[in-house]
Amino acid sequence: MAKVIELNKSITDSNDRDAQKLREELKQKGVFLINLMSSPGSGKTTLLSSTIEDLKDKVNIAVLEADIDSDVDAVKIEKLGAKSVQVHTDGMCHMDAGMTKRGLEGMDLTGIKLAFLENVGNLICPAEFDTGAHKNVMILSVPEGDDKPLKYPLMFSMSDVLLITKTDAKPYFDFDIEACKERVLRLNPKIKIFPVSAETKEGMDAWEAWLLENLF
């Protein structure tokens, strides 16, 4: 059974300061933290599971699973051999720096080099709060449509990486990858974009190489 931590809203309003302090503390420990965001059903956990399977022999990985309820995702991750803790957000649709710090404090990070915060599934709230992560990565799946950058510009603007997932489903959906890339780059010229499929492994090597290159 996965360890579960119940969280409440941070009592401090100084989230940006708390986030920067957490980033520095994690860097001193040699832990590179990724804030992974997407809408529900985009395939976050599937993508994360595939990434862990590919990299677990190269780097020690930990995952902080954030959800309103349940421990389903944390159990899945633990079965892959990665350290995992489930946090419940008390009904809130995002994680902030204080919540992330308390969640990580419930996990033994000894020897961990790469950590993921799997944020609550939502394309609005998570984009508004700095979690203290070193990089923000968002997922957009092919079935969701290529118009999402037009509808949720903040999420694309503040992300360092966009993973366009479920590319194996392209034959079944009207999704123009090049049009999507153009819209995203117009919002955020510096963003890295990786079209990937956790099922066929298409593009996973480029995404995983980026992860390894950015480790401390």
Domains of the chain, residue spans? 16-214
Q: Which CATH superfamily is domain 16-214 in?
A: P-loop containing nucleotide triphosphate hydrolases (3.40.50.300)
Phi, psi (deg, nearest 5) at residue 202: -60, 125
Residue identified by tokens 């984009």 is 127
User: Among 78, 81, 96, 101, which Cα is nearest to 29's?
Assistant: 101
Q: How far apart are CA 135 and CA 32, in angstroms?
A: 8
Q: What is the mean pLDDT of residues 69-82?
A: 75
86 with 117: CB under 8 angstroms? no
More confident residue, 72 or 129: 129
Most confident of 60-69, 76-85, 129-138: 129-138
Q: Is the pLDDT of residue 215 over 60?
A: yes
Neighbours of 41 (CB within 10 A): 10
Q: Is the pLDDT of residue 7 over 70?
A: no
Q: What is the DSSP string of 175-200?
A: --HHHHHHHHHHH-TT-EEEE--TTT
180 with 140: CB under 8 angstroms? yes
Q: Is 0.85 topped by the overall pTM? A: yes
Q: Is the pLDDT of residue 115 over 80?
A: yes
Determine what percent of the chain is predicted with pLDDT higher than 70: 90
Q: What is the mean pLDDT of residues 41-59?
A: 93
Q: Is the pLDDT of residue 9 over 60?
A: no
Burial class for 196, CB neighbours closer than 10 Å (0-12, 13-18, 19+)? buried
204-213 vs 44-55: helix crossing angle, rounded to 10: 70
More confident residue, 85 or 136: 136
Q: How far apart are CA 55 and CA 211, in angstroms?
A: 10
